[in-house]
Amino acid sequence: MNDLRRALMQIVYINKAFIRSPIAAFFTLVFPIMFLVIFSVLFGNGKMEVAQGHTVSVATFYVPAIAAFSVITACYTNIAISLSIARDSGALKRIRGSPLPVWAYMFAKITHSVLIAVLLVAICAAFGAVFYGATLPTTTLPAFLLALVVGAAAFCALGVAVTSVIPNSDAAPAIVNASVLPLLFVSNVFVPLNNPPAWLDLVSKIFPIRHFADALVKSFFQLTGSGLQTNDLLVIGAWGLAGLVVAIRFFDWEPHR
């Protein structure tokens, strides 16, 4: 059995444990879908005129926003919390003492999270299209998928990186949520920013969440053009790179005491 096969088997085991863990499954799978339903009920069948004589369902705008939330939950939040728990329990140390290459373990962990994210995005899009008439991307699909990939990669890297400042698994949910929740509210995810104060606008533009939400929303539906948001993707990519550097330099396999 070669290492790639070992890595793929690891995904299967990670997935088994993930599905059976009530906390992981609830916060990662149920939470985003719950938000989607709440938003749908609130804004329901609203229509928006995007151009003269051209109306689309408002779901066309909040579906990609909730998709952004899903990716952040599945990649950043899920990875940071589950790695902290595995580190504290000694599970990571055990893996490290085994012949399984560390890249194979990390590859499995990240691939699993990305697959969960993709599944959630697909659920969001299907739900929005079927029940609330959201317009699905066609000509902008490549740009949407690119934004999805760049965002998922970056938030995975940041999720691994943030474990280096998490002292123990008890503190993990608090630190992880404190680092994303406020940003979710000021980053066009839950509510659109309407004429925010200049400083708030600046703060939200520094962090990657707003760029990710904007990139997904603007590439989900466009009347014309490819929908490619190069600047947003560059900022997200830079954050991802920074996360990768921190993760490689500071990631710890042993419990912090």
Partner 1 sequence: MAVAVEITDLRKSYGSVEAVRGISLSVNEGEVFALLGPNGAGKTTTVEILEGFRHRDGGRVSVLGFDPATGDRRLKEQMGIVLQTVGVDPYLTVAETVDMFRGYYPKPRPRDEVIELVGLTDKRDSRVTKLSGGLQRRLDMAVALAGDPRVLFLDEPTTGFDPGARRSAWETIKGLAGLGKTIFLTSHSMDEVQYLADRVAIIAAGKVVAEGTPDTLAGREQAAATIRFRLPSGASELPPQLRASAKAGADGVELETKDPTRTLYELTSWAVQAGISLEGLEVTRPTLEDVYLQITQDVGAQSKP
Q: Is position 47 an interface residue for partner 1 (rule: CB under 8 A)?
A: no
Distance of CA 69 to CAs 17, 76, 77, 94, 242, Å?
23, 10, 10, 33, 21
The whole-angstrom separation of Cα 197 and Cα 193 is: 10
Phi and psi at residue 92, to the nearest 5°: -70, -40
Q: Is position 103 an interface residue for partner 1 (rule: CB under 8 A)?
A: no
With contacts defined by CB under 8 A, name the span among 39-47, 52-60, 86-94, 225-233 that binds partner 1: 86-94
Q: Which of 11, 21, 175, 193 binds partner 1 (CB under 8 A)?
A: 21
With contacts defined by CB under 8 A, name the span among 56-64, 85-93, 151-159, 176-184 that binds partner 1: 85-93
Closest C-alpha to 154, from 110, 218, 220: 110
Q: Amino acid identity of 18?
A: F
Phi and psi at residue 205, to the nearest 5°: -80, -20
Closest C-alpha to 10, from 93, 113, 81: 113
Q: Strand ranges (DSSP E) for 9-96?
A: 47-51, 54-57
With contacts defined by CB under 8 A, name the span among 4-12, 37-45, 71-79, 155-163 that binds partner 1: 4-12
Q: Is position 91 an interface residue for partner 1 (rule: CB under 8 A)?
A: yes
With contacts defined by CB under 8 A, name the span among 52-60, 89-97, 219-227, 240-248 that binds partner 1: 89-97
Q: Is position 90 an interface residue for partner 1 (rule: CB under 8 A)?
A: yes
Q: Which of 10, 40, 78, 188 binds partner 1 (CB under 8 A)?
A: 10
Which residues bind to partner 1, rule: CB under 8 A? 1, 6, 9-10, 13, 16-18, 20-21, 86, 89-94, 96-101, 254-255
